[in-house]
Amino acid sequence: MTWEISGWRPDWQPSTAALLAQHRERLRSLRGHRIDATWLVWINDLDEWFADLPVVFQIGEEQLEICNQKFDDMSITWNTIDVDVTPIAWVDWSLTWRRDAHPALSGAVGQTIRDVHVSEHLFTTSRVHPPDPLQQHDTAAWLLGGLVLDSTTDTCTSSTLSTRTAYPTCHPSPGQATR
């Protein structure tokens, strides 16, 4: 797969430890800052998100650029992408950067980041044929899953946005209904 995104040079990290070794302090520095804008690569012909390219968050003076590939590779880059330049990918579709395009992302704009987490998921494989009743050939590993931005809003004590799924969850303040 090839792409041309102005200024972007992905830095794929295959594990949580490698990602945090490189970005822990800078991610922590996002606490207390507001999400000002978000950007996605949009497929103009289909009017939908092209999820194979970075998600960009404008947070104060920082531009956080996140992209996932395969099961557990994640790239975090900072202040490299020019969203005014049309992205090019290996597809025939017309692509463009679109601001606050996804409902989960537009809902995050204006929120203050309370905390940042890296998520992982347990990936397990089992031998199916021939059957292994004692499960002696099962293997499992924790894989890097995504980056989670916890934020506060007027109606939520914590709103979680995961870059892997781009769907937020809202944990209401006591006495408030989830919306």
Q: What's phi and psi for 73, nearest 5 deg? A: -90, 130
Residue 131 lies inside a defined structural domain of this protein = yes
d(CA 106, CA 39): 9
Residue 3 lies inside a defined structural domain of this protein = no
Residue 4 lies inside a defined structural domain of this protein = no
- Of 148, 150, 147, nearest to 72 (Cα)? 147
pLDDT (0 to 100) of residue 99: 97
Residue 125 lies inside a defined structural domain of this protein = yes
pLDDT (0 to 100) of residue 153: 60
Residue 148 lies inside a defined structural domain of this protein = yes
Residue 107 lies inside a defined structural domain of this protein = yes
Give me the number of domains the chain comprises: 1
3-state secondary structure 56-92: EEEECCEEEEEEEECCCEEEEEECCCCCCCCCECCCC
Residue 2 lies inside a defined structural domain of this protein = no
Q: Per-residue pLDDT tens, the chain, 179 aa: give them.
A: 677 888 899 999 988 889 899 999 999 999 999 999 999 999 999 999 998 899 999 999 999 999 988 777 889 999 999 999 999 999 999 999 999 998 878 888 999 999 888 887 787 887 777 777 776 767 777 767 778 888 876 444 344 445 544 444 444 334 433 33
Residue 1 lies inside a defined structural domain of this protein = no
Supply the pTM of this predicted model. Answer: 0.78
pLDDT (0 to 100) of residue 34: 94
Q: How many C-alpha atoms does 67 have within 13 Å on its Cβ side? A: 21
Residue 61 belongs to what domain range? Answer: 12-172
**Tokens, residue 2:** 């090839």
Q: What's phi and psi for 103, nearest 5 deg? A: -55, -40
